[in-house]
Every structure is written in C-alpha cells, then in structure tokens.
A and B are shown apart, each in its own frame.
Chain A
Amino acid sequence: MTALLSLALKQLLRHRLRTVLTVLGVASGMFLFTSVETLQSSLGAATEETAADTTLVVYRENRFCPATSRLPEHYQDEIRRMPGVREVIPIQIIVNNCGASLDVITFRGVPEGMLRKFAPEIEIIAGDDAEWTRRDDGALLGEQFAKRRGLKPGDKFDAVGITVHVAGIIRSPFAQDNNVAYVKLPFLQQASRTGLGVVTQFNVRVHRSADLKPVAAAIDARFKSDQLPTNTKPEKAFFAETAGQLIELIGFTRWLGIGAVIAVVALVANAILLMVRSRVKENAVLRTLGYPARAIMFLVVSEGGLLGLAGGVFGAGLAWGFLRWQSFTMGSEGHTLAILPEISTAIFASVAALVLGVIASIHPALVAIRQPIVKSLRS
C-alpha cells in the first residue's frame, strides 16, 4: 500500500505542471470554501445563544441605530437594583457607519473605573492602565481593532470627528470587545455632542444564563410607561436582530461554498479523467505486469486524493492566514461581527478536499480498469 502510494506521489511530482495547475484550482475553491465556513461559524458564534451567555443589551424601543437610541444614564441605578442583575454599565456608542459595513469603527464610552468591574476578563496586552485613567482622551483599543488599523500605545487616532490617544491595547474572550475602542463616557458624550447624562444603551450582566429572559422582561416592564421605553434582549439576539441584512447576506454565501465544493469535484474529476485517458497504455502495462484492478484503482484514487489534499491544505491554510492577518470585521448598528478563522475550520476544509478528491477519482478509476488490456495496448 505504501509502495503504491509512493508511486502515485511520484506520478504527481513528476507531472509538475499538471499537478501545480490542479492544486491551484483546488486551492482556489477551498480558499473560498474556508472563507465561507469561517463567515458562517463567526456568525454562529455571534448569534447563537449558549449556556455561558449572561449579557443583556438595553436599547431604546423603536430605535434605528446607535444615534437614535438615547436613554437617560440614571436608568442604571434602577436596573442594578433588579433581582438577578449582577452588574450594569451605561455605554455611549458612536460609529462611523450605522448600516452594514466591512470597516466599522466603534467608540464605546464607559464610566471610568467601571470597565474592569463590568468585564474583569479584559486583559491589557500593551500600554498602560494608568495612562487610560490619567488622560481624558485615553482609549483602550480592542486587539483586532488596533491590528486592523496598525495602532499602538502612544498613537493618536482620529475617526468620526473624535480624536483619541491610544493608552493601551486590550484582549478579551468576547469578540465584541476586541473590535472596539473604549473611551471614557463623559469624554465621548461631549466629543460627540450627545450631551452629558445620555447614553446609547446599557449592558447588563446577569448571574445565570437562565436569568436573561426574566430580567429582560422585568427591565422593559419597568420602563414601559416611562417617557423613554426600553427594548431589552440577550446580546446575541440583539446582534441577530440588528444585523438581519448582514445575516441574510452571509446566509447566501453558503451557496458560494457549495459552488466551490462542486467546482473542486469537477476540477479534480476532469484532471484525473484526463490523466487516466493519457495513461491508457501505462495502466494496461501495469495490468499486464499483474497489477490487480484494486491496485490500479488505488493508484488513480490516491492521485485524486493527494491532489485534493494538497489543494485543500494550501487553499484552507491560505484562507486561514489571510483572514487572520486581515482581521476583517463586519458591523451593523454598532455591533461587530469579527470574522475569526479557526484552525478547526481549516482542518475540516483540508479533510473535505481530500474526500472530494477521492470521490472525484472514483469514476476515472473505474474507467481505468474497465478497458480490456489488449485493446488498451493497441490504442
């Protein structure tokens, strides 16, 4: 078996041009497939609720985007007193683009000292916590945000008419935190001319995932008759609602992934069929030498599988590296969808390419063994 696999590998390596072209074709398909799968899994992670989710977003009812959600900051005290609530943080959000965008810049204004209390999991990986405390215009940038913009501590950053000083870079297990710039709430309220005492939303942490729905209902009930009623949802459901169009668009990309898979199968099948046709005599000679049909099939299928695997590893690896390097995010209404490639997706795509290569080679392999030896030798 190993000897035959080695023979198949030699055939591929020594028909270099054909192999390189086929591998490039497969790699292109698997690049697309991996990118689509990454989009899908990132979307899944951002919108599918899990037992570990404990965050609610309180927004103004009938809002369109962060600019139209204006809630009084004092709601914070009433929300904090409600049963099941662990922590509340008022947030002012300013975005460069309210609709769906690939390059969204989001400022989140939070009260000084509350950020670490609300999200203790945030870790400062560069810069200084003291610098953020000391400067009014200090900003803590999410890791992906800083990477995408090429920013480091000490830099000045200007967007949406707001200029901030990069005090530090933060890392969080939550993708949302890694794609925004945290600034002090009063600074953002003044810089954006929203006015002191007004915020966009409240993020509420509850004790347990099971508390999400009752606490959300309680908050909305409390402010229902107020001048500014609220609409409270789990963070992921909130994102799923605000980014409806984005989700539809990403849902459509699944067809692109299916198209990529079909293209890979057709490409490998075509390459292997051409190979089989060009090697009718070679296969007849092998059968004359006593190669059983299963050995010929194994050789043909191995070549298809190896082509698929090589293209899969190359394409999926390239997509993984590219998406990781580019740190793309999609944003909608101040919430960001970080397109985070996972190594498991790249491995899945590589294995899928191997399987597709094998499947695509079955028909050519059958063609290779069905032709009578004498007829093949005469061809």
Chain B
Amino acid sequence: MISCKSISKSYRKGANVVTPLENLNLEVPRGEFLALMGPSGSGKTTLLNLISGIDTPSSGTLVIDGQNIADFSRKQLTKWRSQKVGYIFQLYHLIPVLTAFENVELPLLITSLSRAERRAKVEEALDLVGLMDRSHHTPAELSGGQEQRVAIARALVADPPLLVADEPTGDLDRESANSILSLLQSLSGECGKTIVMVTHDARAAAAAHRTLHLEKGVLLSEDPNLARA
C-alpha cells in the first residue's frame, strides 16, 4: 500500500536548512494499522504529512496504491487526497458553526453525488462511529471523544483506503482514547483500511499492529533499543 524509498524532506528556516526526514525507507502493507512514535522534532508528523499528500518530499519516491505521489502536481495531489486519504487531526478541526452531519458531509460537497446520496453516506459514517443520535449537534455541544468520532466519520465518509491520524487520542481522557483506538482497530480489521497513526502514547501505539520509532528524521527498528545498539 505505502512504499517510501529514500525519502528526504528539508526546508529553509531563516539562514539554516532543516532536515526533519533523511533517507527514510518504509513499507506498509494494505490493511495494516501502523503506529509511529518518537520524540518531538523526530519527523513523525512530517512523514505523516508526506504520506497524506499535504506536503511533498524533497527527494525520494513515495508510492501509495501504485502511484508515486512525489511526482504529482499540486492539482493532482489535491484530487488524490480527496479520493485516497482521510486525515484525523489531534484537535479534530471541525468547523464550529456546522453540525456533526454537515462536518461529515464536507468531503462529499466537492463530489458529483446527489444530496440524497450524500445523506446516505454521511448517515452510514455517523452510524459507524456511533453518533447518529448526535448528527444535528454542533462541535460545541459534543464531548472531546465525540468530536474526534465526528472527525473520524469525516475522514471515512469518502471511503478512502488510507487513514492518517496525527495523535488522535492526544487531547482525550483515557476512556475516550480507548474508545477511539478500538474504533481505529475495527476500521483496520473489519473495513480493511490502512492506518498510519502518529502518537506519543505507548498505550495508544499498543493498539496498532506494528510500531515504528523515528528519531532525528531517521527510522529506527521496531525495537528502538535494538536499533541503537
């Protein structure tokens, strides 16, 4: 599903060149739930941004579902994101004036689906995250866990094969976090979604099939202690 070969990312910050990712190689098979861990500044969010197509690598190839998105133009990347990726943010990033239903409907507004088709898909996604009864509530009327479920429904509604999640439980209490992790597990296991999740939390990472560690832009082995040795 995801194949990163010699991926590097660098950018200028004032007079300095910063390289958050360097010569990274990664393979993620379809349907895998992968957790990326690492200290702040290790490059895990940068990697997630590259995989989700909201940023582009400075060098290397990034093949997702058979397409090297590193070569895509901005326009191609935009279209690709709308079809292939669902992004889950740490702080949910729901639009505050829209209801849960309307937030989930957002990715479908730029498709050719009819209003009835959109309604059916939104209801299906809200049902999947267990929030049908809250569909007409605004984010301010929902708990943090419920907001994140709405954000997951929004990421799912266009049925993308890949979900990327940037610390999806980072702002939640333990109970809500467990419920979100269970949901992600079922999306991977039952729905066959490939999930790449960045987290600081070892308990959250434990819910994934595999955990990889990043440090200073370099991918370590699954056991960071072994890699350092």
B52 within 8 A of A: yes
Interface of A is mostly: helix
A76-84, A248-256, A279-287 - interface stretch: A279-287
Q: B97 touching A15 by the CB < 8 A rule? A: yes
Given A3-B109, A282-B95, A289 and B82 contact (CB-CB distance below 8 Å): yes
Most-contacted residue by chain B among A285, A288, A374 (CB, 10 A)? A288
Measured in the bound complex, the distance between the Cα atoms of B83 and A286 in whole Å is 14
- Greatest chain A CB density within 10 A among B54, B82, B85, B109 is at B109
B22 at the interface (CB under 8 A from A): no
A interface residues, tally (CB under 8 Å): 23
Give A287 to B85 CA distance when docked, in angstroms.
12
Interface size range on B against A: 20 to 34
Q: How many A-B residue pairs have CB under 8 A?
A: 62
The docked-state distance in angstroms from the alpha carbon of A295 to that of B75 is 12
Interface string of A334-372 (1 = CB under 8 A from B): 000000000000000000000000000000000000001
- Determine whether B78 belongs to the interface, using a CB cutoff of 8 Å to chain A: yes
Measured between alpha carbons, how far is A207 from B150 in the docked complex, in Å? 79
Taking a contact as CB atoms under 8 Å apart, the answer to whether A288 and B110 are in contact is no
B78 near A290 (CB under 8 angstroms)? yes
- Whether the Cβ atoms of A10 and B97 lie closer than 8 Å is yes
Q: Please, how many angstroms separate the alpha-carbon atoms of A14 and B98 in the complex?
A: 8
Q: How far is the CA of A10 from the CA of B158 in the complex (A)?
A: 22
Contact check, B107 vs A290: say whether CB atoms are below 8 A apart.
Answer: yes
Contact (Cβ within 8 A) B97 A289: no
Query: Of A3, A10, A289, A372, which is within 8 A of B87 by CB?
Result: A289
Distance (whole angstroms) from the CB of A285 to the closest CB of chain B: 5
CB neighbours of B106 from chain A (8 A): 7, 286, 289
A292, B110: Cβ atoms closer than 8 Å:
yes
Q: A7-B109, A10-B102, A295-B110 are in contact. Are A288 and B97 (CB under 8 A)?
A: no
Residue among A14, A290, A291, A377 with the most chain B CB within 10 A?
A: A290
